Amino acid sequence: MKTLQTYIDKLNALNFKEMYNKDFFLTWEKSDDSIEAVFLVADALRYMREQNISTKVFESGLGISLFRDNSTRTRFSFASACNLLGLEVQDLDEGKSQIAHGETVRETANMISFMADVIGIRDDMYIGKGNKYMHEVVDAVTEGKNNGILEQKPTLVNLQCDIDHPTQAMADMLHIIHEFGGVENLKGKKLAMTWAYSPSYGKPLSVPQGIVGLMTRFGMDVVLAHPEGYEIFEEVEEVAKENAKKTGGSFTKTNDMAEAFKDADIVYPKSWAPFAAMEKRTDLYAQGDSAGIDALEKELLKQNAEHKDWTCTEELMKTTKDGKALYMHCLPADITGLSCKEGEVDASVFDRYRDPLYKEASYKPYIIAAMIFLAKFENPTEILKKLEEKGISRIFE
């Protein structure tokens, strides 16, 4: 029977001081203890909510969200995380702000941050831009705090950039940990992160990169599979290789989806755009070349269509470990015969895993809340204990 003290005891055995007053950009920039601390705090917050214990640690304050790409799960997860901790959320709509009139990043960042405790940004569309923009925002608010403009420096949480999708990858990892009964049971498990066909183009590389950049830290045998031409960042592959060396796992690549699925314990078939094409698209947008963008879109759709056999079928699932691999996806999936004519996964496979997929998504609000919690409190275990002792019910009884 787990209690809040169970999580506190585990947290007390870790060194995660680097999380305090720091931002969260990429998972591989954080220590193993810090990653574990996020998981533990996420589970502790979930436990407290289930026990009807309020986790409101802010009486006022804002969580600012900026989504430069469409979002459902991450947008609502960020709002839920902020609300769980007592923060209100204000979405920055760039189309309705002075950004459209040439307001600088420095000015915008300071103007939105007077009473903000956290800023969540999703900027995943353009290679070499998203993560860089997030750092520019942090530099601006840091300067604002140092110069006495801001009372506090808001914490930045990367809600997806061009390099990594840390809140997604960590929610996925926490789902895996719970499904397999603990981190100690993951060593030697095979995880297949594979490309899959989609009738749309331009999906970010940050999901597969986030997965191989994080899952290789847990002693698993991670396989990255994709057709030729759909490579991810070389820098992230190097991160995955180094992680595997340290943990006794492995990181391998293949151009054969069937090879990746064979005897896999976990499969993650997900479409993404070719790196070279995403670079080209970034340049075309910078030049305002709409004709070039249209031509590139047609080229990429044609390229995708050459690999329609890269799809998660019942036949492929039968080749996994005991035919019962855990199927994962960040959602929404392109479901054959349902959301599209031909897509990433057979409708029967998706439907069979629907509940686990929704459970996978349910961890994200708690992961985001944990990132904020650890950044804002120097002694998070004391705060957790005080919340329990205070005993305020989340729902009045």
Instruction: Convert the pLDDT of each residue in 149-164 to its tens digit.
Output: 999 999 999 999 999 9
CB 173 within 8 A of CB 296: no
- The answer on pLDDT for 99 being more than 80 is no
Residue 319 has what DSSP assignment?
T
For 294-304, what is each residue's pLDDT tens digit?
A: 999 999 999 99
Residue 368 has pLDDT above 60, yes or no: yes
Place of tokens 């055995």: 13
- Res 355 pLDDT > 60: yes
Predicted local distance difference test score (pLDDT) of residue 95: 72
Under the banding of pLDDT at 50, 70 and 90, the label for residue 15 is: very high
- For residues 249-261, give the mean pLDDT: 98
Distance, CA of 376 to CA of 384 (rounded, Å)? 13
Residue 131 half-sphere exposure toward CB, CA atoms < 13 A: 14
Average pLDDT, the chain: 96
For residue 371, pLDDT beyond 70: yes
Structural domains in the chain plus CATH codes: 4-164+365-390 (3.40.50.1370), 167-361 (3.40.50.1370)
Determine contact, residues 226/259, Cβ cutoff 8 Å: no
Please, are residues 334 and 200 in contact by the beta-carbon 8 Å criterion?
yes
User: What whole-number distance in Å separates Cα of residue 18 and Cα of residue 33?
Assistant: 10
Confidence of residue 106 (pLDDT cuts 50, 70, 90): very high
In the chain, which ranges are continuous DSSP H helix?
A: 4-12, 32-50, 73-85, 105-111, 130-146, 166-179, 206-215, 234-247, 257-261, 275-287, 290-305, 314-318, 347-352, 354-362, 364-376, 380-390
SS3 assignment for 93-125: CHHHCHHHHCCCHHHHHHHCCCCEEEEEEEECC
pTM of the entire predicted model? 0.96
Token pair for 296: 């590139």
CA nearest neighbour of 272 among 340, 191, 197? 197
pLDDT-based confidence at residue 103 (cuts at 50, 70, 90): confident
Q: Over 60: is that where the pLDDT of 148 sits?
A: yes
Work out the average pLDDT over 110-130: 95
pLDDT > 70 fraction of the chain, expressed in percent and rounded: 98
Interval 264-295: pLDDT, tens = 999 999 999 998 888 898 899 889 999 999 99
Taking a C-beta distance cutoff of 8 angstroms, is the pair 244, 222 a contact? yes
Asked if residue 332 has a cis previous peptide bond (ω within 30° of 0), the answer is yes
Token pair 């057709």 is found at 227
pLDDT score of 100? 54
Q: How far apart are CA 393 and CA 376, in angstroms?
A: 23
The per-residue b/e assignment along 378-389, b for 16 or more CB within 10 angstroms, e otherwise, is eebbebbeebbe
Structure tokens at 97: 């702000």
Amino acid 102: pLDDT:
66
Q: What is the dihedral of CA 46, 49, 54, 60, to 10 degrees?
A: 60
- The pLDDT value given to residue 96: 64
351-380 mean pLDDT: 98
pLDDT value at position 97? 64
Degrees, nearest 5: CA angle 166-201-126? 50
